[in-house]
Chain A
Amino acid sequence: MSSIWKDGLWHNNPGIVQLLGLCPLLAITNSAVNAIGLALATLFVLTMSNLLVSIARRALQPEIRIPAYVLIIAALVTAVELVFHAYTPTLHARLGIFLPLIVTNCAIVARAEAFASRQPPQRALADGLAHGIGFGWVLIVIGITRELIGTGRVFAGLNQLIPGATQHGIELFDGGLLMALLPPGAFFALAGLLAIRNLLESRETSEQPVRDS
């Protein structure tokens, strides 16, 4: 069981190892709140689709497997979009097209096919949570980084998720580098994260013990 969690959160992370779902990952991470919103929505869809696919796995003969995934995932995404529209209308407006586009996040169909379709519901549920959280933390780290560099503040608009929370965010310095908010900023932030991950990974696998003074 613990390997499921290690895989989802780190070793086989959808965002920084499998590099799946990069479209929303790059597009929506221009602020921490957007990233949190999309992370929550993706987590829910991934977990529920894993669970449903696993429950139905014995009925899923190969010919109808993919159409069945499409149906389940599309229905879940539509439901999530409606819930966001009803309960966090401002965030719904900001996430815009990327909320319905969760349906095309290949991380979700990949987990359904590679894991949930051959594992019992309990394990599939854990796998969905692990990969959902794994994808989510990458989104949120990139979101915080880009918003901070781009505007000098973080968590602007947090009141859209938590009523009563800060609206203008926490200002850490004045101004900001606009590029961090534009598409290149997304690539730089992701590249930075991948570099850190590779560095940690290479230390872990190197035979010599790391002797940092």
Chain B
Amino acid sequence: MSDQTSRRPGVIAGTVKLTLFALVAATIVAAAWQVTRERIATNRHAAKIALFEPVLAGVAFDAVDYANPSRLSPPHDLPGNEAALIYTVSDKNAREVARVYEVSAKGYSGPIRLLIGIDTTSTLTGVRVIAHTETPGLGDWIETSRSDWIDTFTGRSLANTPKDGWRLQKEGGEFAAFTGASITPRAVVNAVKQTLEYDARQRL
């Protein structure tokens, strides 16, 4: 007992000091967050907007409703367990010419956030990766900075690519896989196919 009472002051002092340290640490993080938060949000948004151009390759469009996409909360029929966004793309006469789907594919080490452009004939106008956490050097071939693999989707549709074609080449499909990484491209192929099917159902 006496042993415990003699130690108590040290415990209290330690607790107080550690609490102070936690406060200092929290202040550092809060300050950094405060300073960077707007820039980070702007960066994220700008990076996404910049991808609409390649995603809508060949589409004569005038406006995209960047501010008000329709938002589907999970569970939904689009790929991924996160909210999916659907942007409407229109021409000068405010007629819809395409839709851009923002969905998540289930990658090797986390969700792969994709932008998928589909025109009114249900043909893919382009696919781009917004964010992913795949292994550098292996799974990151889905990025345009590493390879142009992702462009193999452009021009495809459920009509011109048979059901069995939406697989990797080594599984009898039409899509190349990367050396050492097949989960990543398979996830992207499946997500694109599922989005096309969803889009087709919406246009019935």
Contact = CB atoms under 8 A, between A and B. Distances in A.
A76 interface: yes
A112 interface: no
Main SS at interface, chain B: helix
Given A68-B21, A71-B25, A87-B39, A63 B32 contact: no
Main SS at interface, chain A: helix
Given A63-B10, A75-B28, A86 B39 contact: yes
Interface string B27-39: 0110111011101
Interface of A: 27-28, 30, 56, 59-61, 63-64, 67-68, 71-72, 74-76, 78-79, 82-83, 85-87, 89, 93-94, 96-97, 181-182
B36 A30 contact: no
Contacts of A93: 131
A82 B36 contact: yes
Contacts of B26: 75
A71 B22 contact: yes
Contact of A85 (B24, B40, B133): B40
A76 B47 CA distance: 26
A105 B43 CA distance: 28
Interface stretch (B12-20, B54-62, B67-75, B89-97): B12-20
Contact of B10 (A60, A61, A78): A61
B162 interface: no
A79 B28 CA distance: 7
Given A56-B21, A76-B28, A79-B28, A96 B136 contact: yes
